[in-house]
Amino acid sequence: MTINELLFLVFAFGLIAWFVGRARAASFISSETPIINSLPNYHGWFATLWAIVPPILFLIVWINISPALITNMVLANPDAASITADSFSRSAILSEARAVANGSSQALFQEGSEKLVPLYKAAQSYYDSIAFAATLLLIFAGGTYAYTRLKPDFRARTNVEKVVMFALLLASLIAVLTTVGIVASLVFEAYRFVTLVSPFEFLFGTNWNPRDTIVAGEDNGYGAIPLFWGTIFIGAIIAMIVAIPFGLMSAIFLTQYSTPMFRSWMKPILEILAGVPTVVYGYFAALTVAPAVRDFAVMIGFSNAASDNAMAAGVVMGIMIIPLVASMADDSIAAVPGAMRDGSLAMGATKSETIKHILLPAALPGVVGGILLAVSRAIGETMIVVMAAGYAANLTANPFASITTVTVQIVALLTGDQDFGSPHTLAAFALGLVLFIVTLLLNLVALHIVKKYREAYE
């Protein structure tokens, strides 16, 4: 029996257990005990959970260990002793024989695999029957145990509640555990990188031109300063010069000046802007904005302006960030109590004086938090800079020059044929770790500021 069939079996018995448990509970209700502790449905669920959870846990483990058990059994057979000892072709022969044996492949290509097919079939059916027996045993053991516990005063309701809580906890832990796993892999690979290249060169070196082979004591071209500068220049400077004023002003307009009608149109449109895939922004930047910026730069006298330039990427990224800044600023301004605004207007202040002197100072922490979140988003952004900013690691403040960022270089280091242990690949992990730490810190600071500010008005 395959795993799917076994699962079907488990759920079928789970359904039966539900009806049995429910019927048993219903039979408790009589004229002497008109009320039992939990509704019959809860007894049913209790029985079902006991009938299905142990076999499902068993099957999860089984999926992971059964292939190894089967292979071991095959190899233990004297007929299998003759196959080659070379590990690569050995594993190819074994996997082919297994594929034919379980029907997912038709033909045999590897020498010597044909005599393994019946062995695989035999081992497979042997372990299949073990799995089938174990599953049935667990279903009945669990179901019987649950059945014996059902009593009129049994608290099935609270027991089911505990299982529900556990399931919810498990679901919420998945995201956390994944993050921990990602961070762990980043740290591990970054550590391997710093054993090859000195961290001092990586963090403070200004020459980015990564070599394939590392020579100790020489400049191997792993100085990431131009990358860090490029990231800050595009994401935190040019993009913010665009996003902050426009985002803030649109938020002020939407909260203070626009009619409800206009606002109800404008907000969804801003949200659409936030939902445009970044790759679309990327080719807009590369094909439309970058050439225009270059022509403009040449016109005003920058004859060396590149067609993939920091300006185009930064401006388009800023446009992408506008909705984020606007929405955060909108929330913070709207959160300032209306009484503040009324108080200022009643003093004879104009609308713009009220905004400048009362609303913006009161909303400032929230606005700053929003801007930090926007910066963290911008420096982690990849597609726009990959398409529009270029790959040249220039350490320059000229916005019309080609410039590169951390994310662009991670893409460049990982694309193409790369050995996993090469310094190129490991450098990508180190860059990723730096980026992760910076965005994490920005997010923490931003959330702290926003939270503190919210408390002030509650």
Partner 1 sequence: MAEQNSQSDTSDDGTDAHKITARNVNVFYDDKQAIDDVSIDVDMENVTAFIGPSGCGKSTFLRTINRMNDTIPSARVEGEIKLDGKDIYDPSMDVVQLRARVGMVFQKPNPFPKSIYDNIAYGPNIHGLAANKAELDIIVERSLQRAGLWNEVKDRLSDSGTALSGGQQQRLCIARAIAVDPEVILMDEPCSALDPIATAKIEELIHELRGKYAIIIVTHNMQQAARVSQRTAFFHLGNLVEFGVTSDIFTNPQKTRTQDYITGRYG
* Closest among 146, 136, 185 to 44, alpha carbons compared: 146
Size of the site for partner 1 (CB under 8 A): 21
- Which residue, 344 or 404, is less far from partner 1 as judged by CB? 344
Ramachandran area for residue 348 (φ above 0: left; ψ -120 to 50: alpha; else beta):
left
Only segment of 65-73, 115-123, 227-235, 347-355 that touches partner 1 (CB under 8 A): 347-355
Q: Are 357 and 364 in contact (CB under 8 A)?
A: no
Q: What is the distance between the alpha carbons of residues 114 and 55, in angstroms, rounded to a whole number?
A: 35
Q: How many residues does the chain have?
A: 458
- Which residue, 175 or 339, is less far from partner 1 as judged by CB? 339
Map the footprint of partner 1 across residues 213-232, applying CB under 8 A.
Answer: none
Smallest distance, partner 1 to C-beta of residue 336, A: 9
Type of residue numbered 451 = K
- Which residue, 256 or 425, is less far from partner 1 as judged by CB? 256
What is the per-residue binding string for partner 1 in 313-342, x denoting contact by CB under 8 A?
------------------------x-xxxx
- Cβ of 347: how many Cβ atoms within 10 Å? 11
Smallest distance, partner 1 to C-beta of residue 353, A: 5
- Contact between 262 and partner 1 by CB under 8 A: the answer reads no
Sign of CA dihedral 385, 386, 388, 394: positive
- Contact between 362 and partner 1 by CB under 8 A: the answer reads yes
The one among 72, 182, 188, 357 contacting partner 1 by CB under 8 A: 357
- Which residue, 68 or 346, is less far from partner 1 as judged by CB? 346
- Which residue, 163 or 349, is less far from partner 1 as judged by CB? 349
Smallest distance, partner 1 to C-beta of residue 41, A: 49
Sequence-distant (6+) residues with CB within 8 A of 76 are none
- Which residue, 268 or 337, is less far from partner 1 as judged by CB? 337
Map the footprint of partner 1 across residues 240-259, applying CB under 8 A.
Answer: 259
- Which residue, 111 or 353, is less far from partner 1 as judged by CB? 353
- Contact between 361 and partner 1 by CB under 8 A: the answer reads yes
- Cβ of 170: how many Cβ atoms within 10 Å? 10
- Contact between 358 and partner 1 by CB under 8 A: the answer reads yes
- Which residue, 223 or 366, is less far from partner 1 as judged by CB? 366
The one among 353, 397, 440, 444 contacting partner 1 by CB under 8 A: 353
- Contact between 352 and partner 1 by CB under 8 A: the answer reads no
Smallest distance, partner 1 to C-beta of residue 364, A: 10
What is the per-residue binding string for partner 1 in 438-457, x denoting contact by CB under 8 A?
------------------x-
Smallest distance, partner 1 to C-beta of residue 19, A: 59
- Contact between 347 and partner 1 by CB under 8 A: the answer reads yes
Type of residue numbered 187 = V
Q: Are 105 and 96 in contact (CB under 8 A)?
A: yes
Q: What is the distance between the alpha carbons of residues 403 and 393, in angstroms, rounded to a whole number?
A: 6
DSSP secondary structure letter of residue 255: I
- Contact between 67 and partner 1 by CB under 8 A: the answer reads no
- Which residue, 150 or 358, is less far from partner 1 as judged by CB? 358
The one among 103, 277, 301, 348 contacting partner 1 by CB under 8 A: 348
Cα–Cα distances in angstroms (integers) from residue 206 to residues 86, 231, 377, in the given order = 47, 14, 25
Output the DSSP codes for 153-204: T--HHHHHHHHHHHHHHHHHHHHHHHHHHHHHHHHHHHHHHHHHS-HHHHHH
- Which residue, 215 or 346, is less far from partner 1 as judged by CB? 346
| Beta bridge partners of residue 208, listed in sequence order | 222
* Closest among 220, 222, 458 to 336, alpha carbons compared: 458
- Contact between 158 and partner 1 by CB under 8 A: the answer reads no
3-state per-residue secondary structure call for 339-404? HHHHHHHHCCCCHHHHHHHHHHHHHHHHHHHHHHHHHHHHHHCCHHHHHHCCCCCCCCCCCCCCCC
The one among 216, 346, 417, 455 contacting partner 1 by CB under 8 A: 346
Site residues for partner 1 per CB under 8 A: 259-260, 337, 339-350, 353, 357-358, 361-362, 456
